[in-house]
């Protein structure tokens, strides 16, 4: 009885020991490298999009804070103060703080600061200085019919 190895050696060919296995492992390594690269790219894109969304939210909150300061000033309310916004009041992604303060050097100056989100490792803070003119008094001619 002859063995398979004896037949292979008798025909003059060297037996292949694991050649196909090496090729299969190499293909799996390339596929894993491609998959990991795609996963890293998707994660980086997700973080970038989240950061862009937070920047847009801060800009919108800053415009709303300016409108709030102008509305408070027009109604005669005290302009200074802080407003805390919960995630339910926003988009559900985080809470925010709006701080409005008068400029001590300029009677018409107001300093607005928005901080968002208050939770998490990265908090974005934007501020803007604006001037609010005093409410105009109607002239005597305008009040006459």
pLDDT in tens, the chain (145 residues): 456 555 555 555 666 678 888 999 999 999 999 999 999 999 999 999 989 998 999 999 999 999 999 898 888 888 888 999 888 888 767 899 999 998 888 888 899 999 998 888 888 999 999 988 766 655 555 545 5
How far is residue 123's CA from residue 13's CA, in Å, rounded to a whole number?
Answer: 69
Q: How far apart are CA 113 and CA 52, in angstroms?
A: 19
114 and 136 Cβ atoms separated by less than 8 Å: no
- H/E segment holding residue 61: helix 19-75
Q: How many angstroms separate the CA atoms of 116 and 50, rounded?
A: 13
* Domain residue extents for the chain: 19-134
């Amino acid at each position: 009885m002859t063995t398979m190895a004896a037949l292979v050696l008798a025909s003059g060919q060297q037996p292949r020991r694991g050649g196909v296995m090496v090729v299969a492992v190499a293909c799996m390594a390339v596929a894993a490298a491609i998959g990991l690269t795609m996963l890293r790219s998707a994660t980086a894109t997700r973080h970038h999009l989240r950061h862009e969304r937070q920047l847009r939210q801060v800009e919108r909150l800053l415009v709303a804070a300016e409108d709030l300061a102008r509305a408070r000033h027009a109604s005669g309310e005290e302009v200074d103060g802080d407003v805390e916004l919960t995630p339910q009041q926003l988009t559900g992604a985080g809470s925010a703080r709006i701080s409005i303060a008068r400029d001590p050097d300029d009677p018409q100056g107001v300093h607005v600061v928005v901080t968002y989100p208050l939770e998490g490792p990265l908090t974005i803070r934007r501020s803007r200085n604006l001037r609010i003119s005093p409410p105009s008094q109607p002239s005597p001619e305008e009040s006459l019919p």
